[in-house]
Each structure stands twice: as C-alpha cells, then as structure tokens.
Amino acid sequence: MAMYLAGGGDVIDVVKRHLARPSVLLDLKQIPALRGINAANMTAPQPSITLGSLTTLRELAEDENVRRYLPALAAAASRVATPQIRNIGTLGGNLL
C-alpha cells in the first residue's frame, strides 16, 4: 500500500501509531506545480485565484489576494490548530 506525503502531519501520526503500514511513501512536496497561490486578472470584474493543494494554511491566511477575495477561507485557515501546524498543514491535506 502506498501513502501520499504532503504536509505530513496526519500521515506521520498514522504510521507512528501503526494504524497503517505503507510499503511506499510518495513525497508530493517536491512537485512545484502543487504549491502556491496564483492570482490573475485582479482588476477584472471576475478575478481568478488558483490555489495549489500543497499551499500551507499560513500562506492562505496571510496572502493579500486570498484575504481580499476569499476572506472566509483566509479566516478559516488562520484559525486552524496552532501556528506550527499552520506552517506545515496544507490546503489539500486539510480538505482531505
């Protein structure tokens, strides 16, 4: 069985507790296309924001465009767990 590793918080906990014993851990952190916030056409009537699944909760909470155009997401990301968790926790992992 393979497991994906992104932020790693949940996967590491599951493995340490022996709830799963993956034969392979696939590290997604090295795929740049899965990380970041891309804002486009911000002066247009309908701006576009693309959020990578490996974007950290801290990045979501602090990004100027997310705070302006997606304030509920920024507020939610800023309230998850502790600052240490927000530094490693990812959007994709928390949606999962």
Question: What is the per-residue pLDDT across 57-91, written as a single tens digit (0 to 9) for each?
Answer: 999 999 999 999 999 999 999 999 899 989 988 99
Helix (H), strand (E) at residue 49: strand 48-51
* 6 has pLDDT over 90: no
Q: What is the mean pLDDT of residues 37-46?
A: 89
Task: State residue 47's pLDDT score.
Answer: 86
Do the bridges between strand 24-27 and strand 2-5 make them parallel or antiparallel, or are there none, so unpaired? parallel
Integer Cα distance of 5 and 23 in angstroms? 13
* 2 has pLDDT over 90: no
Quick one: which of 92, 39, 90 has its CA closest to 61?
90
Per-residue pLDDT band for 7 (boundaries 50, 70, 90) equals low
55 exposed, middle or buried (CB, 10 Å; 0-12, 13-18, 19+)? Answer: buried
Q: What is the mean pLDDT of residues 38-61?
A: 92
